[in-house]
Structure formats: C-alpha cells, structure tokens
Amino acid sequence: MDLGLAGKVAVVTGASRGIGRAIAEVLADEGAHVGICAREPAGVSATVAALRQRGTGVFGQALDVTDANGAAAFIDAAAAELGGLDILVNNVGGSRGAGVIGSSDEEWRATFELNLFHSVRMTRAAVPHLQRRGGGSVVIIASISGFRAAPGSQYGTAKAAEIFLSPALALELGCHAIRVNTVCPGSIVFPGGGWADFRDRDPAGYREFERREFPLGRLGTPEEVARAVAFVASPAGGWINGAAIAVDGAQQRPNAFVLGAS
C-alpha cells in the first residue's frame, strides 16, 4: 500500500533510539523528509547520519523538550530546513519518582512536563506550520498504562492525560484539517531499553512474563509500533481522528513498574 508519504515533512521527538528512531526510519523509508530531536547530541548525530542513508531530507537537533522556548524554536527550524511541516509525532515520554508514596510533587510535575506538556507545546508550535500546508496530522505516543492501571501512578496518569488530549485536539483542530490521534504501545523490547535489560538480568523471569502476559508469547518491537504510527499519520489513514490505538499484542497488564523495567 502506498501511504502517500513521499515528499511529506515529519518531525519526531525523542527519535535517537527505540520507538522514536524506528518511527523516523519508517517515515523516511516511505519517502518523507524527517526532522528529529533528542537530548543527547551524539545520539542525534548518529540518527541523522543513518536517516540520510535512506535518501530523504533530514534535520536534527539536540533538545530538552521541557524547554518551551527551545521546543518552539526546534519546530520552526525543522520546518524552515525541510520546507514545511505535515506530520508531528510527539514521542518523548518517561517518569520521575516511584508512585504516590515514593515521589514528590516536583517529580509529578516533571513527569507531566515530559509527557503531557511536551505534547501540548510541540503541537501548539506545529499548528501554524500545518495550517500553511492546508492541514496535517499529529500523533501522540502514549501507553497502555494510560488505561490499564499499574503501580507508577504519575506515569499512567500523565499518559491518560495524553490519551484524553488527542480527541480534544481533534475537535479543536479539525476545522483546520489537522487530525490528532494517540498510539498506545505495550511493552516494547529493543537494545539498550529497560525490557532488554530485564531480559538479560533475569532470563527466567522475562520468559515467564512473556508467557503470562502476552497471548502471542513475546513483547513487541519498535518497528511494529512505527508502522502503525506511519499509517495513522499518513493520508491513507485520513479517516482516523481522535482515536487511541493500542499496539500491544493484547498484553494483559502494563507491568513495567512492577518489574523495574521501562
């Protein structure tokens, strides 16, 4: 299927590793020009170099997405370098602290800054550029933790807020032909990630987790999430709007905090 992404311009946050990098790679393989950001300059440089091998335009910048001014400047710079903006993927996420008892107000605020407010400020900065292109698509990467409870209250609560955000923005921005959706991954394993660390640290426990929680008997891959994101973001997914789409292999429970992985 031709997703209609050739020549489109997409920006992906947190794209130097894991799900974010896979999204950037899949979009580039579909012919989109891609702007990326991440905190570590070395990771950004390596990802930019890899994306350029795919033959499309690439822009990269080291950025802390909790810096509101920096976030807006990054969106403007990516659009200027790549000739506009059609797609925004808000991928950055994470958590600070350990549940209600083990975390401070500041850790709750930091978790919301990293997840919800990052998505809000990036979307706000992107809207004028999307309007100039006659519309576009925003995809927020949340988590099944946003609707399946597990220990780690601040993370799940922040992700639930992101899940609510997409249909609210879909209603607000639909008049500008801007679609907004949320993709909610389950547990995804990749080199250097928390689940890979758990697998290496406790192989027997990891195998039991796969057996118990996944009907398909395995965790997901970044590429499987990325392909879902590419379809939802693309013109081929043009009637998907305000949706929260689980990409989790029918995972039973989000156990990241129980098992100490991420």
Instruction: Identify whether the C-beta of residue 145 lies closer than 8 Å to the C-beta of residue 256.
Output: yes
Residue in 7, 40, 37 with CA at minimum distance from that of residue 24: 37
d(CA 179, CA 16): 25
Specify whether 206 is catalytic.
no
Task: Return left, alpha or beta for 150; rule: phi > 0 is left, psi -120 to 50 is alpha, else beta.
Answer: beta
Among the listed residues 32, 66, 28, the one whose alpha carbon sits nearest the alpha carbon of residue 47: 28
| CB of 183 closer than 8 Å to CB of 142 | yes
Angle between the N-to-C axes of helices 105-112 and 153-173, in degrees from 0 to 180, rounded to the nearest 10: 40
Annotated active-site residue in 59, 155, 190, 206: 155
Residues near 176 by Cβ (< 8 Å), separated by ≥ 6? Answer: 127, 130, 131, 135
Decide: 66 and 109 in contact? Cβ < 8 Å: no
Instruction: Note the residue count of the chain.
Output: 262
Q: Which residues are marked as active site? A: 155
